[in-house]
Structure 1
Amino acid sequence: MERTPEQSPYPQENVSYPTSSAPSFTFPDSESTTIRYPVDEKRPDGLMPGTHATSAANSIIDEKEGHGHDLEHGGHGHGDDNHIDINDPNRPKYGIRQRLHHFTWAWFTLPMSTGGLSLLIFAQPHQFPGLRQIGLFVYIVNIIIFTTLTCLMLARFFLHHGDFYNSLSHPREGFFFPTYFLSIATLITSTERYAIPDDDTTLKWAIQTVFWGYVVVTLILAVGQYSFVFAKHNFGLQTMMPTWILPIFPIMLSGTIASVIADTQPDIASVPIVIAGMSCQGLGLSVAVMMYAHMVGRLMSSGLPNREHRPGLFMNVGPPAFTALAFIGMANGLPDNFDREMDGFIDVYLIRTFAIIGAIFLWSLSLWWFGIALIAVLSSRPKYFHLGWWAMVFPNTGFILATISIGNEFKNESVLWVATGMSICLLSTYLFVLYSHIRAVIIQDIMYPGRDEDVNDH
């Protein structure tokens, strides 16, 4: 069934093309902007070779099954029958300046996932010679990726004034802003693993200072962004997506950072770090559980998201998985002589026992969400690349790391070998998504009007 132009969720873009002395014609869009095409009077259709204009009947919506059935608040439509089909191979190509206008915060899901991969390599229970060096290489590459993306984002804001506020206030792209801080979290933990020697006191104090600074900044982010969303947006339950959880994710990962650095800190510093990490982890998980209620309500009442955004369901795997990982890590990070009441009743060993119990409890919830997301994606696989595909990597990294931690606590080789198999699958997924990402950039499937997280198409 053909869809009318008003149903299309893709906004028009100001597009300008070189013109010749020959006459040209224009298609006005709903925002009174103009799309201008060069004209060749010798051709029957009047268009220059390689230029293609389509009607709404040939729009992308005809190709995206189920797309646009649950538009978020703020979605846009077309007010004219003539517009560019953004899936047409002959669609107009853009230069770097125009494409940077669509360089969104969601790009930081790439260094998030790369940093998670470096941590997973370090934590592998079955090491072989050279594996740690591979992990170090991935860590260095991730620093380069993060720095490059930061520079490109600054270039976007410099070239397109107003994009900074618009990106933060956008009802969809704004939820990806926390991925910048999640990337920083992976850099902090990876730096602790790969770059800080065990006997370097100065660097240990430096990483502790970075931890406390990260806690303060991400707490402000968690309160500030949700306050803005509550005041400025009005979402319906049927539009709920796992990205709603992202603003609480950075503060939650403070617990994961604490679980990594506490064991290497002096006793006088490790206890406050663990307490702060547990507080942040509890805050993050509590908010995530509240969001889960909305997520299940949306799935029960409106069904699964359209196929193009189903990989985002893997985000639900992250909060319980990283909390399970943090529980075990923070318990092990406490000093062996820790006994708050000094009576031998609630000592560090009892705390570690309860941490394992809680970790298994939460790991099971992650497993359930993993199964839901996997079946949803396999039942209707996405056709077009979106940056949300990286959700198939980073949250599952926490799931596998939690599996490894549980296996190490029980010294169960079967669990550890399962975790090794899961790691191989995750590496394959990472390489597949990375290839798809690079290909999408080259053929302009992303960083193109209507193809990124700066439109409301779900």
Structure 2
Amino acid sequence: MEQRVPLTPDSPIPFQSNGLSTQATSIGQGAPEVHPGYGVDDERHSLSVSGTQVNSPVDSIHDGKEGHDVEKVDDLIGADIYDPNRPKIHFWAWFTLSMSTGGLALLIYAQPHQFPGLRQIGFVVYVANIIIFACIVAAMTMRFVLHKGTFITSITHSREAFFVPTIFLAIATIITGTQRYAITEESTSLVWLISALFWGYVAGSLFVAIAQYSYVFKTHDLGLHTMMPTWILPIFPIMLSGTIASVIAETQPEMNAIPIIVVGLTCQGLGLSVAFMMYAHMVGRLMSRGKLAIINHTEKLLTNSLLGMPNREHRAGLFMNVGPPAFTALAVIGMANGLPDNLDINMGMVLDMKVIRPIAVVAAIFLWALSLWWFSIATVSVVLSPPQYFHLNWWALAFPNTGFILATISIGNEIQHEGIRWFATGLSICLLLTYLIVLYNLVRAVVIQDIMYPGRDEDVLDGTDT
């Protein structure tokens, strides 16, 4: 094993990025220029020193794994982030598996072209999602019990904390899946239970949206050039309140349905509005280009400027941008259909559902187009530079796109267009294949110890590949 020695301000630092080496005379003395065609994968770099040589993660136990590993230089002295004996840790982002599985169950239920046994398959997926969710919760609980202090660390981490809301997204799929697969019109008690779960979900997700962003605004220093779609995640759960409302309102008594729809529409509007603000920063980052540089940060941390596209290992996360307009399009149609035929607003005015529902469809198509644009941008980005190593953010290939397909199905059903329905069916098949591919790679990554270790999951920062 190579000998690791501390870095000093006088140590020469060779800078490597995708095969390009540049020599910096010392840490903090200027910044080496790097051809813009080459990119540094992460905001922070792990360095191991043997004599005067600095080995990038490309020389690690996984050749070519340029690093989704972010470690302080001090952490490397006497420790190996690739040591297979280091303790395994479960991260919040594992709930992306549950929410993607739950989304698949909903997609199966909503298919415009059903065949015998399809709903039964969907029910099996729905039950599997509940089991997966319970296992992840148990694993997370064990993590926090066995490793004291990791709970606070995880919910305050500058990147991992953004995945905390995924537990609410997973719960949202369970609530909507329960409505689809487990509740009938005769199940009066379950109808009231779903209503109670909805109000509890709204309260919890609203708290997360306010508390987490307030903490981030006060504590973290996140440059706009480091913007990633994960910044949208804290507002995502409250936005899905509208999606839940659109699903459960149709079976609720009128006295419950109207408040649920009004609150759902309010929450959906809040989530989409915040997402639009985030989109401005996301587009700003994507359109920015600049030189990469090594800079000295408290003499312990090496960082580089982040501009342009995310690095190839994290580009799958761009599909998160597909979700907000897609789920809003789905929710708008669903909530319009969930309204009573004669809606009496306290002042005696009756709204004509024949007007509201077409407006909802028009708004849904408007939002669907934005979702399609983000889907196309993300697809092109991933195809041009596909990831080589598994990350849990690969599940962004599934869940947001589930909303996109569900919105497509709803629009096709509303305008009675069979071509759109078959298009949605084709997309559904593609998503099923994508889900299976990501699931296979998840299992494989666990087996080969490529994830579930410190420095290899969502406890590191995203980078760029400009």
TM-score by length of 1: 0.84
Matched, 1:107 2:94: yes
Q: After superposition, give the CA deviation of every residue in 1:153-177 in whole Å (9 maximum; x if it has no partner).
A: 0000011100000000000000000
Matched, 1:172 2:159: yes
Tell me how far apart the structure 1 counterparts of residues 337 and 381 of structure 2 sit (CA, whole Å).
36
Give the match for residue 306 of structure 1.
311
Q: Aligned pair in 2 of structure 1 residues 403, 83: CA closer, same or farther (>3 Å)?
A: farther
2:73 is paired with a residue of what secondary structure? coil
Give the match for residue 47 of structure 1.
none
Match of 1:225 among 202, 212, 218: 212
Tell me how far apart the structure 2 counterparts of residues 85 and 367 of structure 1 sit (CA, whole Å).
43
Report the CA distance between 1:338 and its aligned residue. Answer: 1.6
Alignment map for 1:54-203 (pairs within 5 Å): 56-57=54-55, 59-60=57-58, 76-78=71-73, 92-94=83-85, 98-100=87-89, 103-203=90-190
Report the AA paired with residue 174 of structure 1: A
Alignment map for 1:321-332 (pairs within 5 Å): 321-332=326-337
Report the AA paired with residue 58 of structure 2: I
Matched, 1:338 2:338: no
Report the CA distance between 1:400 and its aligned residue. Answer: 0.1
Q: Aligned pair in 2 of structure 1 residues 295, 201: CA closer, same or farther (>3 Å)?
A: same
Equivalent pairs: percent with the same residue? 60
Give the match for residue 204 of structure 1.
191
Give the match for residue 15 of structure 1.
none
Alignment map for 1:341-356 (pairs within 5 Å): 342=348, 346-356=351-361
Q: Aligned pair in 2 of structure 1 residues 237, 64: CA closer, same or farther (>3 Å)?
A: farther
Match of 1:436 among 441, 446, 450: 441
1:338 is paired with a residue of what secondary structure? strand
Report the CA distance between 1:85 and its aligned residue. Answer: 7.5
Report the CA distance between 1:448 and its aligned residue. Answer: 1.9
Cα contact 1:56–1:82 (8 A) shared by 2: no
Report the CA distance between 1:2 and its aligned residue. Answer: 4.2
Report the CA distance between 1:56 and its aligned residue. Answer: 3.3
Report the CA distance between 1:257 and its aligned residue. Answer: 0.2
Tell me how far apart the structure 1 counterparts of residues 74 and 146 of structure 2 sit (CA, whole Å).
28
Give the match for residue 44 of structure 1.
none
Deviates more, 1:55-64 or 1:122-131: 55-64
Gaps of 5+ in 1: 13-26, 30-53
Structure with greater contact order relative to length (CA < 8 Å, sep ≥ 6): 2
Q: After superposition, give the CA deviation of every residue in 1:192-245 in whole Å (9 maximum; x if it has no partner).
A: 000112211111011001101110111111000000000010111110000000
2:343 is paired with a residue of what secondary structure? coil
Give the match for residue 17 of structure 1.
none
Cα contact 2:228–2:462 (8 A) shared by 1: no
Alignment map for 1:350-369 (pairs within 5 Å): 350-369=355-374
Cα contact 2:56–2:66 (8 A) shared by 1: no
Cα contact 1:314–1:396 (8 A) shared by 2: yes
Q: After superposition, give the CA deviation of every residue in 1:328-362 in whole Å (9 maximum; x if it has no partner).
A: 00000001122436555x32221111100100000
Q: After superposition, give the CA deviation of every residue in 1:80-104 in whole Å (9 maximum; x if it has no partner).
A: 9978786xxxx53237xx102xx11
Match of 2:414 among 409, 413, 416: 409
Cα contact 1:11–1:455 (8 A) shared by 2: no
Report the CA distance between 1:67 and its aligned residue. Answer: 5.9
Cα contact 2:58–2:65 (8 A) shared by 1: no
1:360 is paired with a residue of what secondary structure? helix
Cα contact 2:57–2:65 (8 A) shared by 1: no
Tell me how far apart the structure 1 counterparts of residues 220 and 392 of structure 2 sit (CA, whole Å).
23
Matched, 1:261 2:248: yes
Tell me how far apart the structure 1 counterparts of residues 57 and 78 of structure 2 sit (CA, whole Å).
8
Report the CA distance between 1:267 and its aligned residue. Answer: 1.1
Matched, 1:249 2:236: yes
1:451 is paired with a residue of what secondary structure? coil
Tell me how far apart the structure 1 counterparts of residues 279 and 244 of structure 2 sit (CA, whole Å).
24
Gaps of 5+ in 2: 1-19, 28-39, 289-306
Tell me how far apart the structure 1 counterparts of residues 308 and 78 of structure 2 sit (CA, whole Å).
30
Give the match for residue 303 of structure 2.
none
Give the match for residue 236 of structure 1.
223
Give the match for residue 386 of structure 2.
381
Tell me how far apart the structure 2 counterparts of residues 215 and 240 of structure 1 sit (CA, whole Å).
27
Q: After superposition, give the CA deviation of every residue in 1:86-128 in whole Å (9 maximum; x if it has no partner).
A: 6xxxx53237xx102xx11000000010000000000000000
Tell me how far apart the structure 2 counterparts of residues 343 and 80 of structure 1 sit (CA, whole Å).
67
Tell me how far apart the structure 2 counterparts of residues 65 and 59 of structure 1 sit (CA, whole Å).
6
Tell me how far apart the structure 2 counterparts of residues 81 and 337 of structure 1 sit (CA, whole Å).
68
Q: After superposition, give the CA deviation of every residue in 1:1-49 in whole Å (9 maximum; x if it has no partner).
A: 347898983669xxxxxxxxxxxxxx9x9xxxxxxxxxxxxxxxxxxxx
